[in-house]
Structure 1
Amino acid sequence: MDHLDTLRCFVAVADAGGFAAAARRLGVSATAVTRAIAALEARLSVLLFQRSTRTVRLTEAGERFLVDCRPILTDLQEAEQAASGGQAEPQGLLAITAPQMFGMRHVAPVVQAFLHAQPRVQVRTLFVNRLVHLLEEGMDVAIRIAHLPDSGLTAVQVGALRRLVVASPAYLAQHGEPRHPDELVAHRAIGFSFDNNSVSPWKFKGGVVGQPHFSWISNSNEVDIAAAESGLGLTRCLAYQAAQGVRAGRLRVVLAAHEPPPVPVHIVYPAGRRAPAKVRAFVEFARERLSAEPVLQGRGLTRRA
C-alpha cells in the first residue's frame, strides 16, 4: 500500500469510526487497514487514533492531520477525474448538514429523490441545531438559515423564511390577540433556547422589542410548536416550523404587521466551480426543489378549507 493509499485509509477510518467499517468502505481487509494506520503513525512518530475494544477516536494530532489530509485527497481525486473524464459523473460519498427540523422536513425528501436519480452517490446527513464547520467536520454541503458572514464558501440562496409569532385559536379566544409587541407582556409564551437556559426578548420590525412571560423554555422547536398547539401560549418560530399547524388550523399567526425581515436560506459549499460532480449535482438538484417550496417564498401559510 503506497503513501496515498495510506492517507485514504486514515481518512476512511476517521469517517467510519472504526477499522472494520473503513475496510468495508475501501474494499480491503481490516488487517490491511490496521497495518496502514500503524505504518502511518510510525512514519509520523505520533498516535493518530485512541483505540479501545469498542471505539476508535482521533487524537488531537489526528484531528489536525485530518484537516490537512482532506483537501490533499480531494484535489488529487478532482485531478484524476478531470483527466479521465469522470468529473462529469456524480459518484461517491456526499455529506450534507442542515438544521434538524428543516433537514427532516425539507432536506430529507430532496435527498431521497436525489439518490433515486443518482444511484452511484451515497449520502451521509447530519441534522443538528448547531453551526457545523464544513471542512473540519468533513461536510460537502450545508443548508444555512441565517444572514451569512463573508467567507471562502460558495452560497446559493434558495429563499427566505418569515419569523412568526403563533398561538392556538383556543389560547387567543381566551386571552385575546396581541396587536402590538408591547402587549406581549400580558401573554404567556413558550421560548426556544439552544442552551435551554435563557431566552432573548423577541425583536420585531424597526427594532421594537416584546417581552412575554415564558412559562416554558425548551431547546426543541417541535416541543415549542406542540405546546403552542395545545393552547399553552404564544411561540416564536420560523415559517416552515409552524406551516403544518397553520394550514391545519391548529395555529394562527399574530403580529404579522410587525414581523422583522425574513431570514435567508442558502445552500453552502466549498470549492465553487472546482467542487466535485456529486456536490455540483446535488446543489443544482436541491436548488430547483427548495426554490419551489412555497414556505421559502413567503407563501404556504393559508389555512386549508
Structure 2
Amino acid sequence: MDRLHGMTVFVAVAEEGGFAAGARRLGLSPAAVTRAVAALEERLGVRLLERSTRHVRVTEAGQRYLDDCRRLLAELDEADEAAAGLNAAPRGLLAITAPVLFGRMYVMPGIVEYLRRYPDTEVSAVFVDRVTNLLEEGYDVAVRIGELPDSGLRALRVGQVRRMICAAPAYLAEHGTPRTPGDLAAHTIVASTGASTQPEWRFRENGGVRAYRVHPRLTVTSNDSAIEAVRQGFGLARLLSYQVAPLLASGALVPLLEPFELPPVPVNIVHREGRHGTARVRALIDLLAARLRGDPALDWTVA
C-alpha cells in the first residue's frame, strides 16, 4: 500500500467523520477508502478508528497519528509549492478562524478580496469566540486578540485594541457619568459571555491593577447583542475598542473611565506554516496584515 495514500485517506475519513463522506471528498469509492484504512491499521498494528453503524470516531492512538499525518501532509504541500517556485499562484483550500465580531467586521472583507484576487483558491472561515487549536482542528491561519501563550506557532502582530467601558449619551444623561471604577456599583451593567465569563472587571488604579466584581442586570451570549443593548441606552458594557469604533466615531456611544483602562492588548495573525509556507497561506497573511495595519481602529501606530 502507498503510505502517503493511506495517510491521506485516513485524514479525510477522520475529518469528515465517516467513510462515505471521506470517499466523496477524495473522489474514491467507499470500498477503496475502507480497504485503505484497514491496510493502514494492519501495517501499524493499532486501531485508528472506532466504527459503529452511525459514527466513526478517532481512537486515542488515532488522534495522535492524525495530528502527525496533518503535519506531514502539510509539509509535503509546502515542499511541492517551494519546488514549483515562490512565485507560484495561490491555489487550493485554506482554513482560517477568528473571533465572531472581529471576523465579520475585519477578516471577512479581506477574505472576499483574497478570493477575488486568486480565483483558484477556496476558503473555509470559522468565526468563534474561543481559542482554537490550529493543529488539532485543522486551521491554517487564525487571528488572535490578546497575549499569546508560548507555542510552536508563528505570529505576526498587526495591531492592538483597548478594553473599554461604553454607554449611550441618553443613559448618561439619565443616570450620570461614573468618574471612578468604584462608581460602577451604582450603574446598570450589561455583560457578554462571548467576551468573558469573568465576573470581575479589572482597572489600572493607584499604580497597580484592581479588580471590581460586577453584577450584570443583563447577560447576553454575544458581543453584538451587548452592544445593541447599550446603544439603546440600557446600561454600561465593557467591550473591545474595535467592536464599537463606528459607534464611538458617530457619537452613538461614549467611552468612560479611560484613565483607568488597562494597557492595550495585541492583535496577531498566527499560523502553523513550516520553513517555506504555501503560496495560498502567504498571500492571505500578507493581504490581511496590510488591511489590518492600515485600519485606524486597530491602533497599529500606538506604542
Q: Considering the TM-score relative to the shorter chain, is it more than 0.5?
A: yes
Does the alignment pair 1:259 with 2:261?
yes
- Aligned partners of 1:198, 1:261: CA distance in 2, in Å? 18
Question: 1:248 offset after TM fit, Å?
Answer: 4.2
C-alpha deviations, 1:186-230, integer Å up to 9, x for none? 112112336986512332364244444421233321222122123
Tell me which residue corresponds to 1:3: 3
Greater displacement, 82-91 / 285-294 = 82-91
Greater displacement, 62-71 / 144-153 = 144-153
Q: Within 5 Å, give how 1:26-175 maps onto structure 2.
A: 26-85=26-85, 88-175=88-175
* Matched residue SS, 2:147: coil
- Aligned partners of 2:257, 2:18: CA distance in 1, in Å? 52
C-alpha deviations, 1:233-259, integer Å up to 9, x for none? 100000122223334443221122322
Tell me which residue corresponds to 2:225: 223
With the length of structure 1 as denominator, give the TM-score of the two structures: 0.88
Q: Is the 8 A contact 2:200 2:214 kept in 1?
A: no
* Matched residue SS, 1:185: helix
Count, aligned residues? 299
Q: Is the 8 A contact 2:203 2:260 kept in 1?
A: no
Structure 2 vs 1, CA of residues 277 and 262 (structure 1 numbering), >3 Å: closer, same or farther?
Answer: same
Question: 1:184 offset after TM fit, Å?
Answer: 1.4
Structure 2 residue runs of 5 or longer lacking an equivalent are: none
Greater displacement, 113-122 / 80-89 = 80-89
- 1:114 maps to amino acid: Y
- 1:103 maps to amino acid: G
- Aligned partners of 1:113, 1:84: CA distance in 2, in Å? 25
Structure 1 residue runs of 5 or longer lacking an equivalent are: 300-305
- 1:226 maps to amino acid: E
- Aligned partners of 1:181, 1:33: CA distance in 2, in Å? 61
Q: Is the 8 A contact 1:188 1:232 kept in 2?
A: yes
Structure 2 vs 1, CA of residues 194 and 109 (structure 1 numbering), >3 Å: closer, same or farther?
Answer: closer
- Aligned partners of 1:58, 1:211: CA distance in 2, in Å? 42
Structure 2 vs 1, CA of residues 66 and 273 (structure 1 numbering), >3 Å: closer, same or farther?
Answer: same
- Aligned partners of 1:56, 1:276: CA distance in 2, in Å? 31
C-alpha deviations, 1:89-136, integer Å up to 9, x for none? 322221111112211221112111111111222211221111111112
Q: Is the 8 A contact 1:165 1:253 kept in 2?
A: yes
- Aligned partners of 1:229, 1:106: CA distance in 2, in Å? 21
Structure 2 vs 1, CA of residues 202 and 156 (structure 1 numbering), >3 Å: closer, same or farther?
Answer: same
With the length of structure 2 as denominator, give the TM-score of the two structures: 0.88
- 1:148 maps to amino acid: L
Q: Is the 8 A contact 2:11 2:70 kept in 1?
A: yes
Q: Is the 8 A contact 1:180 1:255 kept in 2?
A: yes
- Aligned partners of 2:189, 2:283: CA distance in 1, in Å? 43
Question: 1:273 offset after TM fit, Å?
Answer: 4.3
* Matched residue SS, 1:274: coil
Tell me which residue corresponds to 2:236: 234
- Aligned partners of 1:195, 1:282: CA distance in 2, in Å? 26
* Matched residue SS, 1:136: helix
Structure 2 vs 1, CA of residues 271 and 220 (structure 1 numbering), >3 Å: closer, same or farther?
Answer: same
- 2:228 maps to amino acid: A
Question: 1:140 offset after TM fit, Å?
Answer: 0.9
- Aligned partners of 2:284, 2:197: CA distance in 1, in Å? 37
C-alpha deviations, 1:25-47, integer Å up to 9, x for none? 32333332222122222323333
Tell me which residue corresponds to 1:294: 296
Does the alignment pair 1:276 with 2:278?
yes
* Matched residue SS, 2:57: strand
The root-mean-square deviation of aligned C-alpha atoms, in Å, is: 2.5
Q: Is the 8 A contact 2:96 2:123 kept in 1?
A: yes
- Aligned partners of 1:195, 1:280: CA distance in 2, in Å? 30
Greater displacement, 49-58 / 150-159 = 49-58
* Matched residue SS, 2:46: coil
Question: 1:19 offset after TM fit, Å?
Answer: 3.0
- Aligned partners of 1:284, 1:195: CA distance in 2, in Å? 28
Question: 1:282 offset after TM fit, Å?
Answer: 0.9
